[in-house]
Amino acid sequence: MENVGKDIDRAAKDLILGNLVVFPTETVYGLGANALNEKAVKSIFKAKNRPKDNPLIVHVSSIEMAEKIVTNISEIERKLMNMFWPGPLSIILTKNDIIPDAVTCGLNTVSVRMPDNKLALELIQKANIPIAAPSANKSGKPSGTNIEDIYDELKEDVAYFLDDGRSKIGIESTVVKVNEDGKIVILRPGKITVEDLEKISKVEVDKNCFREVKKEDIALSPGMKHRHYAPNAKCTLLSANDKKKMIEKINDIIINSSENIAFMVMEDIIDSVNKKENVKVYNLGSTLDEVSKNIFNSLRKIDKDNIDICYIQAVEKKGIGLGIMNRIIRACEYNIVEV
């Protein structure tokens, strides 16, 4: 793979020339283009087969760079920047005319963040341009958290893959919008939690984070609309009030299934799952941070293992668990079994 490595000069040159570059962030890998070049931005949508009404996030290397592409930054928005940048927080701000409509899908707002990744920041600084980037994957598929998972599906369209190993967080950034009254609305939950944001202002979780958004609705943030994070296999969310009920349900499914099935579960459940030839079990980890890091990579393993149906254990909607559940519910396309 000649076009994979840590050559920031090459990656920056490709961005300046209008080419696509896959680059690391602390959340997931991004499929990046010069955010000021409309033709380059449109090539992101083509490469991903991304719906034209799904806006992109613009990545900057400093607050000063953000100030060049947005206007009317409020006191609360500036506090968010100062507290959480660089970091996994995207803020929806009023764009100025320098940002082409292709980035925002015609909206007058743009989502901006400063990634907490050394290579990403060096790349943006070297190219000296903001980078528009969704997650690096074909639209609808699980996001890429390492180059190996995404190289084959993107290699025909990407000039260079900037490799920094496995993503530290594993799910995309928290996306927020500040209302006129100063309330912070979470449009997509992530590593920056409700509890974190409440240190600055009142917080509300948008109702669309956990329900299917209608086709005619406008998406202010990536991840709110369309099929997301899903493998080819059918996925179902398993939700139970206690561990015993979860184990009983899993083993009941195993007894009554002849298909190739899989279970994504927390580490403390694995030993209680009955072993059968047609059953695979994926370890999501023992903490929510580990689940966050493992979830997309595990979803990709399902298709490699030719699984027909996968059951995914629900986690508590608290802290980063809110973001994890947002991704799992969408990966399961709202198929939920409550035990």
In this structure, the answer to whether residues 255 and 313 fall within a common structural domain is yes
Could you tell me if 145 and 190 lie in one domain?
Answer: yes
pLDDT at res. 140: 86
pLDDT at 217 exceeding the cut of 60: no
pLDDT > 70: what percent of the chain? 95
Domain containing residue 287: 234-338
pLDDT > 60? residue 219: no
Q: Are 204 and 139 found together in one domain?
A: yes
Backbone angles phi, psi at 249, to 5 degrees: -65, -45
Please state the domain count of the chain.
Answer: 2
Q: Would you call 211 exposed, middle or buried from its count of C-beta atoms within 10 A (0-12, 13-18, 19+)?
A: exposed
The percentage of residues in the chain with a pLDDT greater than 90, rounded to a whole number, is: 85
Question: Does residue 215 carry a pLDDT above 90?
Answer: no
pLDDT of residue 232: 85
**pLDDT at residue 266 above 60?**
yes
Tell me the pLDDT band of 28, cut-offs 50, 70 and 90: very high
Q: What 8-state DSSP symbol labels residue 129? A: S
Domain edge (last residue) among 210, 245, 269: 210
Q: Is residue 48 part of a domain?
A: yes
As a whole number, mean pLDDT of residues 173-177 equals: 98
Predicted pLDDT at 79: 98
| CA distances to 18, 28, 103, 252, 323 from 85, in Å | 27, 16, 21, 47, 19
pLDDT for 229 equals: 75
User: Are 195 and 242 found together in one domain?
Assistant: no
- How far is residue 31 from each of residues 19, 272, 310, measured CA to CA in Å? 10, 40, 28
Read off the pLDDT of each residue in 173-181 and give the average, rounded to a whole number. 97
Whether residues 248 and 121 share a domain: the answer is no
d(CA 310, CA 312): 6
Res 327 pLDDT > 90: yes
Is residue 223's pLDDT more than 70? no
Flag whether pLDDT at 62 surpasses 90.
Answer: yes
Question: pLDDT band at residue 7, thresholds of 50, 70 and 90?
Answer: very high
Q: What contacts 232, CB < 8 A, 6 or more positions away?
A: 302, 303
Structure tokens at 3: 């076009």
Domain boundary among 145, 178, 210: 210
Q: Are residues 161 and 45 in the same domain?
A: yes
Alpha carbon distance 163, 6 (integer Å)? 6
User: Could you tell me the CATH number of the domain that includes residue 150?
Assistant: 3.90.870.10
Q: What is the mean pLDDT of the chain?
A: 94
> Is position 57 within any domain?
yes
* 60 domain residue, yes or no: yes
Tell whether the model's pLDDT for residue 225 goes beyond 60. Answer: no
Check residue 228 and give its pLDDT. 66
Same domain, 279 and 313: yes
pLDDT in tens, 82-124: 999 999 999 999 999 999 999 999 999 999 999 999 999 999 9
196 pLDDT above the threshold of 70: yes
Q: Are residues 77 and 199 in the same domain?
A: yes
For residue 110, the 8-state DSSP code is E
- Tracing tokens 């599906």 back to the chain, one arrives at 153
What does the pLDDT average to over 236-258?
A: 93
Distance CA 322, CA 254 (A): 28
Cα separations in angstroms, 98 against 103, 195, 314: 11, 34, 42
Q: What is the pLDDT of residue 220?
A: 61
The length of the chain, given as a count of residues: 339
Q: Are 206 and 238 part of one and the same domain?
A: no
Average pLDDT over residues 17-43: 98
- Residues 106 and 203 grouped into a single domain: yes
Res. 227 pLDDT band, cuts 50 70 90: low
Show the tokens assigned to 152.
Answer: 């084959």
User: 170 φ, ψ to 5°?
Assistant: 100, -15
Q: Is the pLDDT of residue 127 over 80?
A: yes
Whether residue 120 is contained in a domain is answered as yes
Question: Is residue 155 scored above 70 in pLDDT?
Answer: yes
Write down the pLDDT at residue 282.
96
What SS3 class is residue 113? strand
- Give the CATH number, domain containing residue 253: 3.40.50.11030
* 226 in any annotated domain: no
